[in-house]
Every structure is written in structure tokens, then in C-alpha cells.
Chain A
């Protein structure tokens, strides 16, 4: 047997250069610090909120109305208001977003100028500051649409021409539309060309193919989009600031033309407008904790579904 030569043949394998090693180590060190900072920030935020919020956080807190000038009691109406908001928002945004995504991936020609314009608009919509959506909602939905309805049907008496949960939900729907469109588009693209061809080759029309093959395969993508949109919508405050959120209501909204309370808005007013900000600190933290649990768990579900889609796409 040959003996193994343990000495490195330096002509064949040149030895390491020390300088290069040092540079590499510095880069690795910087990235490690950056990663640590990001994780640390997240944990500090979560830690403070959980620590400060835990004493008020209870079933009673989330199931009762605020009392005593909102310095005591729970956040039930804000929680319900947030739920109604995201549900109405989803009813408006999910079908609209899905149809747009279907147009973009299935019907638009590759070099279509119109589709390019739609894509550009969607991308732009995604980066518009949320307060702009709030102002748009105020101008378009409340003053133009609502005011117009009142002029025509209610003889100018204010009914729809003022902030309410419908206008707030529709404003929020506009904000979350890009999230839905992009998620659904991504899901539609994972349906392999072979399956579409199989369907078409059997004499199916394009629409039959989309309905029977493409959409059933994209259900989880549509769900991911919806969940991400809902979690975004549950957390945003600016769009509903002028379009429907109320400081305090003694009753739950009974119709679409009523105002509503909202978790994010509740945190904002409790920490800035309350009669006794110091005294309500625990309520603020507990409300924040509820909102965080809500949005984080929704995001987690979306991440799980999305990773399943990705695995299937491979």
C-alpha cells in the first residue's frame, strides 16, 4: 500500500494568504453584530411589552368595555371593531386583488403596456405612506361617494358622508390590495405550464383551465395573501384616522354607517389623548400585547402556508 503523503504540495495547493483571512473575518464579524442587533431589538420590544402588559392581560380585559373615562376596564369594543374592519376589508380586497392577479398572470400579454402600467401602479400603491390612504379615503369615499349618496338619496342630510366603518374598511382595502395581488400572482405562477397545457389540450377553454386547474392549485396562495393583508390591516392606524375610527363608543357598531373603535387607534389615543396617561400605562401595554399577538400569529400562519407552497413549487 502506498503511504499517504501528509505534507501539502504547495505548488498544487497554494497556502492561505493571511491578509485575505483577516478581511474575511472582519466581514463575518460585522454581519454577526448586525444580526445580533436585529434580534436584540426585537426581543427588547417584545420583552418590554410582555413584561408591562402581562399584569392587565386577562380574559376580562379583552371581553369588557372600557370604564371610568377609559382609565379602567377592557378593550372589547376595540377588538370587535378591528375584527369587523378586517372582515369587511377582506370581502372588498380579496376578490378584487385575486381578479387583478389573474389578469396579470393569465391574460395579459407579456409585452402588454397596460399590464406594465397595472404592475407599476400596484408597486407604487405598496409604497404610498398610509396616511395618504387616510386622506384619500376622506376625500374620495366620505366626501365624494358618501356625500354624493347623501345629496341624491338623503336630501343632503349627513348619513353616509361622514366617517364610518364601511369607508374605513374600503380605505384599508386599498392599502392592502398590493399585498394580496403580489401573493396571489406568486401562487398562480407556481402552477406548472404542463398542467395548463394538459387542460387546454383536452379542449378546455382558458377560463375553464383557470377555474379547474390554476385556481384550485392557488388556494393556499390566496389564503396567504389574505392573512398578510388582514394582519397589515389590523395593525395600521393612519388610514382609519379620518375615515371611521372613534375615540370612545358606548356600544358596538350596529350598521356599516356607524363609527367603530380599533386596537391600534386605541393605543394611540390612550397614550396621547387620555385624561390620565400615567394611570392607563398598563392598559396601553396590554392593548399593545393583544395587537402584537394578533398580527404576529397571523403572520406566522401566512409564513407556514407560504413555505408549504414553496416546497410544492420545487
Chain B
């Protein structure tokens, strides 16, 4: 199948002795939004961080199984983790702009990739900020500190910063959980627009958000993938009892 972006085969993750992810297997389609849902501690964020190897930073983590992105196992020894992260961007739960100007925040990634030309950087900055629907709000103050922006603006800035390195896949770890409803809906609109060009995987504990924004939904529970399917199907007629219980709010 051409339109499968990520294929996960029997992926398990251990924190020391503790098994936090249990033989996860799934296929994530290209140019769609896939939502990962489940109660706190179910492993959805841990799984997300496996996709760009962010868990490498945590000592004592061992991972078995395969994570095939475009057919390449990213846990293969010959794969450079830096290149993986350039192709697979990440937006974090808490907005984390650098204590630099708005411009420098966006230009950070391209500069690291060796782009020095000012005109080229200017263009990347504008395009990225436009894509993240924040250009009009900040175009007159690109030199100001990014820390002066509101929480919602900061989060869209972080999305723009991720877009600036032109990734293929964007991972979002509860990107709107710390935002007000208006900012949240802006982020959700943005997710909807971005899936034209990117494959998006979004972790959320907000069921409505998963239902609104995603095409596919995967339900995690206690480190296991219980069920995955079209969002519509998962929310209307889930196959597993656990999924139904969670979605109808009987636990979690």
C-alpha cells in the first residue's frame, strides 16, 4: 500500500524492567490525521515519542520491534537520529519557544540545516508563520521576544517553527491541552489545513478533539493498542468493550 506512512511492528518499550508499551502494531496512513487516545499513563505519549526517537534522551529505555517510516526502520543502527527528527517534527504539550525573537525561533531549524542566505531565511519565516496562521498577528514585530506572545500564539509559533524545517510527519503531544477554547479551535483548524501536506499524529485526552480533528483513531490502554480504525467507526461502533467504555466515559 502506497499511502501507509508509518508501519509499526511488535513495538515494545521498557523503562528499566517495566514494560510500558506492549507489542504495538499499527499502520499510520499518509496525509491523514491520526489521533492517539486513552487514559493518562496508557502509553500514548510514550508511543508518540518513539516515532521521532525522543525517548533516546531518557536513560534506561529499551525498545524492541520495528518502527518503519517510509519502509525504513528508524531504530536501525545506520539511521542518523538527527535526520529522523528533521523529517518528523514535534509539537509539545507545553509551548516551548526559545527565549529569542519570533524571527529567530522560526529561523533556528533552517539555520541548523545550513541555510544562511538572509532572503531565503526571510521567506521560510514568512511561509511558515503563514502556514501556522499566525503571520498577521506577528508580522510587525518579528524582532520581539517570542516569550511576549500569548499561550495560544506561542503554540502556533512552535508549530510554525516545526514547519520551517519542512518535515513530512508532525507529531503533536496534546498541543492544545494548556490553551483556552478559542486558541484550541485555532489549533484544530490548523491541524485540519496542515494534513493536506503532512501526516499528522496527535495525542489528545480530549475525546471531542479526537472526533473533530482526526481521520483515524487509536485507543491505547495500559500500554496496549486496544483498537484502531476510522475515527467515525471508533466513536460510533467500537469493536472492543474497553474502547466503548472509555469513549462513553465509563472510565478514564
**Pair from one complex:** yes
Cβ of A195 within 8 Å of any chain B Cβ, yes or no, is: yes
A199–B99 Cα gap in the complex (Å)?
A: 12
Cβ of A296 within 8 Å of any chain B Cβ, yes or no, is: no
Smallest Cβ-Cβ distance to B104: which chain A residue? A212
Q: How far is the CB of B162 from chain A (nearest CB, A)?
A: 7
Which residues of A in the span 258-292 have a Cβ within 8 Å of any Cβ on B?
none
Cβ of B90 within 8 Å of any chain A Cβ, yes or no, is: yes
Which residues of A in the span 210-243 have a Cβ within 8 Å of any Cβ on B?
212-213, 217
**SS of A interface (majority):** helix
Contact A204 B82 (CB under 8 A): yes
Cβ of B59 within 8 Å of any chain A Cβ, yes or no, is: yes
Which of B52, B83, B86, B108 lies in contact with A199, CB distance below 8 A? B108
Contact B54 A201 (CB under 8 A): yes
Contact A202 B165 (CB under 8 A): yes
Cβ of B96 within 8 Å of any chain A Cβ, yes or no, is: yes
Known: A203-B109, A203-B112, A203-B113. A198 touches B158 (CB 8 A): yes
Which of B85, B92, B94, B98 lies in contact with A203, CB distance below 8 A? B85
Q: How many residues of A contact B (CB 8 A)?
A: 19
Known: A109-B59, A197-B57. A203 touches B158 (CB 8 A): no
Contact A195 B98 (CB under 8 A): yes
Give chain A residues whose Cβ lies under 8 Å from the Cβ of B38.
Answer: none
Cβ of A205 within 8 Å of any chain B Cβ, yes or no, is: yes
Cβ of B29 within 8 Å of any chain A Cβ, yes or no, is: no
Smallest Cβ-Cβ distance to A203: which chain B residue? B86
Which of B54, B59, B97, B158 lies in contact with A200, CB distance below 8 A? B54
Give chain B residues whose Cβ lies under 8 Å from the Cβ of A201.
Answer: 52, 54, 85, 89-90, 92, 162
Which of A110, A198, A205, A217 lies in contact with B92, CB distance below 8 A? A198
Cβ of B216 within 8 Å of any chain A Cβ, yes or no, is: no
Smallest Cβ-Cβ distance to B88: which chain A residue? A201
A205–B92 Cα gap in the complex (Å)?
A: 19
Give chain A residues whose Cβ lies under 8 Å from the Cβ of B92.
Answer: 194, 197-198, 201
Cβ of B156 within 8 Å of any chain A Cβ, yes or no, is: no
Cβ of A297 within 8 Å of any chain B Cβ, yes or no, is: no
Q: How far is the CB of B145 from chain A (nearest CB, A)?
A: 13
Which of A110, A111, A212 lies in contact with B108, CB distance below 8 A? A212
Q: B111-132 interface mask toward A, CB cutoff 8 Å, 1 = contact, 0 = none?
A: 0110000000000000000000
Contact A195 B109 (CB under 8 A): no
Smallest Cβ-Cβ distance to B89: which chain A residue? A201
Contact B59 A205 (CB under 8 A): no
Q: How far is the CB of A150 from chain B (nearest CB, A)?
A: 49
Cβ of B32 within 8 Å of any chain A Cβ, yes or no, is: no
Cβ of A208 within 8 Å of any chain B Cβ, yes or no, is: yes
Known: A197-B96, A217-B99. A202 touches B57 (CB 8 A): no
Contact B85 A202 (CB under 8 A): yes
Known: A197-B57, A198-B158. A203 touches B82 (CB 8 A): yes
Give chain A residues whose Cβ lies under 8 Å from the Cβ of B109.
Answer: 202-204
Contact B96 A198 (CB under 8 A): yes
Q: How far is the CB of A197 from chain B (nearest CB, A)?
A: 7
Give chain B residues whose Cβ lies under 8 Å from the Cβ of A192.
Answer: 96
Known: A201-B85, A202-B108, A202-B162. A110 touches B59 (CB 8 A): yes
Give chain A residues whose Cβ lies under 8 Å from the Cβ of B108.
Answer: 199, 202, 204, 212
Q: A111-130 interface mask toward B, CB cutoff 8 Å, 1 = contact, 0 = none?
A: 10000000000000000000
Q: How far is the CB of A135 from chain B (nearest CB, A)?
A: 41
Cβ of B161 within 8 Å of any chain A Cβ, yes or no, is: yes
Contact B57 A195 (CB under 8 A): no
- Centre residue among A195, A200, A203, A204 by max chain B CB count within 10 A: A203
Give chain B residues whose Cβ lies under 8 Å from the Cβ of A217.
Answer: 99
A200–B52 Cα gap in the complex (Å)?
A: 10
A199–B162 Cα gap in the complex (Å)?
A: 10
Which residues of B in the span 33-84 have a Cβ within 8 Å of any Cβ on A?
52, 54, 57, 59, 82-83
Smallest Cβ-Cβ distance to A202: which chain B residue? B109
A208–B92 Cα gap in the complex (Å)?
A: 20
Q: How far is the CB of A42 from chain B (nearest CB, A)?
A: 38
Give chain A residues whose Cβ lies under 8 Å from the Cβ of B113.
Answer: 203
Q: How far is the CB of B235 from chain A (nearest CB, A)?
A: 30
Known: A199-B108, A202-B165. 19 other contacts (CB 8 A): A111-B59, A192-B96, A194-B92, A194-B96, A197-B96, A198-B92, A198-B96, A200-B57, A200-B85, A201-B52, A201-B92, A201-B162, A202-B86, A202-B108, A202-B109, A203-B82, A203-B85, A203-B112, A217-B99
The 5 closest A-B pairs by CB, nearest first: A203-B86, A194-B96, A202-B109, A201-B90, A203-B85
21 A-B contact pairs sorted by A residue (CB < 8 Å):
A109-B59, A194-B92, A198-B92, A198-B96, A198-B97, A198-B158, A198-B161, A200-B54, A200-B57, A200-B85, A201-B54, A201-B85, A201-B90, A201-B92, A202-B85, A202-B112, A203-B85, A203-B86, A203-B109, A203-B113, A212-B112
